[in-house]
Amino acid sequence: MAAPDKNLPDYERLGISDRKTPIGPLLAIATVASVLGIALGLLIDWFPIAASEQAGPIDTLWDVLIICSVPVFVLVSTVVLYSVYRFRQRPGEEDKDGPPIHGNTRLEIIWTTIPAVMMLALCVYAYVVLRDIEDAPAKGTKTLNVRVVGEQFTWTFFYKGGDGKDVASPQLYLPKGTPVKFTIQSKDVIHDFWVPAFRLKIDAVPGIDTSYRVTPNREGRYPVVCAELCGLGHAVMRQTAVVMPPADFDAWLTKKASGDEGAAGGGTAAGAAPGETDGKTLFTGVQPSCGSCHTLADAGTTAEVGPNLGESLKGKDEAYIRESIVDPGAKLAEGFQNLMPPTYGETLDPAEVDALVEYLLEQAKG
């Protein structure tokens, strides 16, 4: 076999000089694919309903990222797929080891510079968006401070009552249209406080305070989730954020604050209807609800995170049931680890605990 002619370009020595790269058709394919990809990317409903003023700029940022990244993805995939097909090994070429090719300096500079410039521009844009939406509200604007405490496996939300005392709630209540500053803390491991409808989230780290601001702008109930793997109960570390008219919120906070001081009537301690003392209603109404982890036929719940109460409570007495609610780690049903929030003793009214105990005692007998 004759030595390859050193003067020929690589593709000539490869014997593929008769087949030119079809730049035109490839560009057409890439353009059509990019347009379709961008259209699809913008049409897909990626996010849950937006319920904060901060959500708009974040969703726009996302759309811009889609518009910038789809063409890059399409370009790279087109070149890769084309090359895989075009330069595939053909019969008889099994022992060949293509010609030695030195890189193409100009090409390398281009494909390093363009992505670097794009990345830099997008980083600056993202930084500006984040800084803008976290700007402190103008002086004199009323801001609500909420301290969010995470622990295995629940969130507790602390408000300042009228007399400056902490008011604890297992459910997040917020007034519509008021800027809120969350200060996030953890009692044990790293959690992550996230209300997807507000878009922002941040880690809850033991020993330090983290924070962010949102302004809820849509009434409704939205999930609060933990977004950092924090142990076996991570998936059930879910509660509810309720955005309500400011007047309703003020009424709730006032009532809650007085309830905690032992005034008659109590508050809506656990998020169920005010003054609710029906055990069955509380079973599914408290936050986080008993029914979201436990099966109990009478209450119509079927979750399997914790023991099936229809079975595990059979023959148990009142003291055992009460302890299981307020100190869930004390005695564990066989085969279960303790994933239950340890906070029910504090966040439920005594009357609510009594009602739950009474209801579960009936079930234990039945």
Interface residues with ligand CUA (CB under 6 A)? 150, 153, 191, 226, 228-230, 234, 237
Nearer to ligand CUA, 225 or 253 (CB): 225
Q: How far is the CB of 234 from ligand CUA (least distance, A)?
A: 3
Q: How far apart are CA 176 and CA 179, in angstroms?
A: 9
Task: Give the pair of three-digit tokens for residue 181.
Answer: 């500053």
What sign results for the dihedral spanned by CA atoms 265, 267, 268, 270? negative
Nearer to ligand CUA, 197 or 204 (CB): 204
Task: Give me the phi and psi of 175, to 5 degrees please.
Answer: -85, 140
Task: Give me the phi and psi of 63, to 5 degrees please.
Answer: -60, -40
Q: How far is the CB of 160 from ligand CUA (least distance, A)?
A: 25
Pairing label, strands 154-160, 144-151:
antiparallel
Nearer to ligand CUA, 152 or 363 (CB): 152
Nearer to ligand CUA, 228 or 276 (CB): 228
Q: How far apart are CA 237 and CA 242, in angstroms?
A: 17
Q: How far is the CB of 293 from ligand CUA (least distance, A)?
A: 15
Q: How far is the CB of 309 from ligand CUA (least distance, A)?
A: 24
Residue of 41, 109, 29 lying closest to 75 (CA atoms): 29
Q: How far is the CB of 357 from ligand CUA (least distance, A)?
A: 27
Where residue 220 falls (left for φ over 0; alpha for ψ -120 to 50; beta otherwise) is left
Q: How far is the CB of 228 from ligand CUA (least distance, A)?
A: 5
- For residue 220, list its beta bridge partners: 243
Nearer to ligand CUA, 237 or 270 (CB): 237
Nearer to ligand CUA, 230 or 313 (CB): 230
DSSP-assigned states of every residue in 168-232 = EESSEEEETT--EEEEEEESSS-EEEE-TTT--EEEE-TTS-EEEEE-B-S-EEEEEEE-S--ST
Q: How far is the CB of 229 from ligand CUA (least distance, A)?
A: 6
Nearer to ligand CUA, 338 or 363 (CB): 338
